[in-house]
Amino acid sequence: MVEGAAERLDKAIAAAIEGVSRRRARGLIADGAVFVDGKRCRVASRSLSKGTRVVVHDRAEAPEAPPEIPILYEDDEIVVVDKPAGVHVNETETSPRRSLEWILSERNVLVVHRLDVDTTGALVFARTKSVAADLSRAFAEQRVAKVYFAVTEGAPSVEVVDAAIGPDRRRPRARAVNPRGKPSRTELEVVARAGEFAAVVARPQTGRTHQIRVHLAHAGTPIAGDILYGGHAAGHVGGAVVDFTRPLLHAARLTLPGPDGPRTFTAPLPADLAALGSAGLLFPDTEGLASKA
């Protein structure tokens, strides 16, 4: 971190970090490894006022190129993408990785909801401020129907988890079931089992941070690969040891309200979930779930 003091960005970085020349500072800035007050900055000549917060990542941590983002749907109002794992939705100074917001910047997108960095699937962006306001209101009023697929360690024995969620005081990045938290409700359906694992369809009725992950952990069946909430990094599936490189959670279907009726968008099953189908962890066709949302 560099505390700016009324000087050029590249000069401030070189002065604050031992062994970094102004030339290297300009390279870091060009690579997108520098954030100014929480926003990625690529202008080496930017003037900093006293107290400006600057975060600098090592160039080696930055990806060589952003991943391709599959577009599920696009018009003048919205862009719906199939989010890959490992990509933040919006810019964050905690990581030099390119965000979806940055990758899609030429389309002038506005963030209206989020998926966790390692969650895959359908995600909508607005293209105008008025559409962003309408969609944000629809999410807040629970008028957006969402269907997720998850692989869990064990099969949940309940069909509904209705438990308030709030910050976990012991772990700053985590959430926890807390009676003082916000009301949260998730409907669960076990659709397949294979040994110690289950394929689960989750329909969150509210939209709290980490909601499905917290509720499944609370049910005693954490998501496979979800280390933060009690899942394991590997397990025996179909007679083989499978490494879980992320929490196996996928946003399969998103239904948005509209003046001409609801619009539904589906994201194909990602490769890591699809690979478990040979062991019996099969998920239903998303189109067949429409009447249950």
**Residue 189, both tokens:** 């359906």
> Residue 88 in contact with residue 107, Cβ under 8 Å?
no
CA separation for the pair 43, 102 (Å, rounded): 15
Task: Spot the catalytic one: 116, 168, 226, 272.
Answer: 116
φ and ψ of 149, to 5 deg: -110, 135
User: DSSP state, 203?
Assistant: E
CA separation for the pair 152, 199 (Å, rounded): 7
Sign of CA dihedral 63, 40, 171, 211: negative
CA-CA distances (angstroms) from residue 133 to 111, 129, 136, 239, 240? 10, 6, 5, 49, 48
Verify whether residue 116 is a known catalytic residue.
Answer: yes
User: DSSP state, 15?
Assistant: H
The residues carrying an active-site annotation are 116
